[in-house]
Amino acid sequence: MSEYKRIDEEQPKEEVKNVAKVRFKADYDITDVLRLWGNWARKNHYLEQRSPSWFNEQPKRYKESCSDDDALLIDSALISLSKTSRQGAEQYEVLKLFYFGQSRTVEEYVASTGMGRKLERLAFDGAVSIISNKDFNKQTKTFIQPLSVVDIAKKMNIDRSKVKLIKEGGENHIVGHLSAITMLTGQRLEILNNIKFI
């Protein structure tokens, strides 16, 4: 009797397709993450120019910040965004103005808020902050003021609906960048342990 060998049928090979775009969906609000990063960046700015009372006298929502490690990850995502394209650079600028703010001298800030030049008070959303004489040096110190969507639209001379779209595009890039870091390295932001998930 002859022997038969069974040959498994070959499975058809799956065709590999290149992915044109990937969209990451975050289970957290990226605006909370960027707000905490902006507060961290302003805090460091005030510490570098030796005017910590400017930071300490702000309302609580401007004092909550992320850790240094988280801030460096977010910084890397923002730098990456600024270097992607002209559109990316525009998104970076809008995010920076909205979450970090615009640098102004104390004199410019006092003049823009309608206060007299000799006043040593700055208004932070209704709360009055007293600046110590030691900190009040108009020539060398700068105050960082986050801008609203309307203020950014005026500064960039574009429609506010366009600013919102630019801002959302930038936020989506940051979500993608941070998700990619987590996928590749397993590194995740520490602030996600304390943030409200959606």
Predicted local confidence at residue 27, as pLDDT? 60
Average pLDDT over residues 175-184: 89
Average pLDDT over residues 180-198: 77
Percent of the chain residues topping a pLDDT of 90: 38
Q: Tell which residue, 25, 45, 49, 21, has the closest CA to residue 96.
A: 45
Q: Tell which residue, 96, 91, 95, 34, has the closest CA to residue 66.
A: 34
The CA distance from 90 to 83, in Å, is: 10
Cβ proximity of 177 and 95 under 8 Å: no
Predicted local confidence at residue 183, as pLDDT? 87
Predicted local confidence at residue 31, as pLDDT? 92
The CA distance from 106 to 132, in Å, is: 13
Predicted local confidence at residue 14, as pLDDT? 63
Query: Per-residue pLDDT tens for 109-161?
Result: 666 665 544 445 544 444 344 444 444 444 457 788 899 999 999 999 999 99
Query: Per-residue pLDDT tens for 65-119?
Result: 899 999 999 999 999 999 999 999 999 999 999 999 998 876 776 666 655 444 4
Give the pLDDT band of residue 7 (cuts 50, 70, 90).
low
Q: Tell which residue, 83, 72, 70, has the closest CA to residue 28.
A: 70
3-state helix, strand, coil in the chain (%, to 5): 55, 10, 40
Predicted local confidence at residue 28, as pLDDT? 74
Of 60 and 179, the structure prediction assigns the larger pLDDT to 179
Predicted local confidence at residue 55, as pLDDT? 72
Percent of the chain residues topping a pLDDT of 70: 65
pLDDT at 178 over 60: yes
Predicted local confidence at residue 186, as pLDDT? 84
